[in-house]
Structures are given as C-alpha cells and as structure tokens.
Amino acid sequence: MSQEGLNAQWYNVIAAVSAERGTEHLFIYDGYLNRDYFKGFIRKLMRLNRGKSVALYMDNSSIHKEDSVRKLYNFHGILPLFNLPYSPATNPIEACFSIVKSYFKKKRLAHLVNDLPFDYPSVIEEAFEQVAPASVRNNAARSMQILQ
C-alpha cells in the first residue's frame, strides 16, 4: 500500500434530507463553509421544493443565524429550527451522517488496501444515496423520543 494514499483530502458537505426522499440535496465543496455557499444551498433547495413548505433543522452554526441568511429564510418562507446547543443526539441528521460515514469509511479502506485511486466527491455522493427515507423517519422519531 502506498503511503501517498493515506494523505486524506477533506471536503465540506451541506445536506438536506427528508422523510419523503432521503437525501434531497447535497452540496460538496472543498473550502470553508461561508455565507455564500450556505445561501446558494438554500436557493437551490427552494428551487427543488418549489411550492412546498420547508423547515430546516440545523445546528447552531453562526452562519445559519446571520442576518442575511435569516432574511433569506423569510424571503422563501422557510421555518428555521435550531437544535439544542451541544445536543447532537437530538439532531436527526447526525444519525443520517453516521450511515454516510460508515459507507464512506468502508469504501475508503477498500481503496487503500487495494491501492486504488479514490474519488472523494463521487464516494461522498454514493454514501448519501444510502440514506433512505425510512432511515430519516426513524432518526427523526428517535430524536423526538429523546426530547420528550
């Protein structure tokens, strides 16, 4: 196995999942999350959900709460919902991400062991395809049980 294959690239991901579609929208980029990336994500999400009510359940990242982003929520009629601080167990996306991470790690290990090239963005997309609508529903229900 080549040592070069062990040097990992990193990517940031913003994902929208729903009980109807599983992974609805995925935004993969290399670089730091900033207001412009997040606002672009929101605009595309709203184009994909034209005419539907949308609630975004998010962590407490400062980008999610910036004034210009809040104005975008209002413009599109988005209901922003923020998770309790330091409470990943109550955020259903965390359980969805565990599915993604598990799939990704298995694929990455197989490529490393077999000394094969690895296309990070493609495997990230494949990993998010593993998030089924039933998983989203179950993860949301589990989060609600914790909150009660």
Amino acid 1: pLDDT: 47
Residue 4 confidence class, pLDDT cut points 50, 70, 90:
low
Ranked by mean pLDDT, which of 2-11, 22-31, 121-130 comes out on top? Answer: 121-130
pLDDT in tens, 106-133: 999 999 999 999 999 999 999 999 999 9
Amino acid 113: pLDDT: 93
SS3 content of the chain, % helix, strand, coil (to 5): 55, 15, 30
Residue 94 confidence class, pLDDT cut points 50, 70, 90:
confident
Q: What is the CATH number of the domain that holds 37?
A: 3.30.420.10
Residues with Cβ < 8 Å from 134, sequence gap 6 or more? none
Q: List 16's β-bridge partners, or say none.
A: 25
Cα–Cα distance measured from residue 147 to residue 139, given in angstroms and rounded to the nearest whole number: 13
Please give the average per-residue pLDDT across 8-22, as a whole number. 85
The domain of 122 spans: 3-147
Count up the domains in the chain and report the number.
Answer: 1
Cα–Cα distance measured from residue 84 to residue 87, given in angstroms and rounded to the nearest whole number: 6
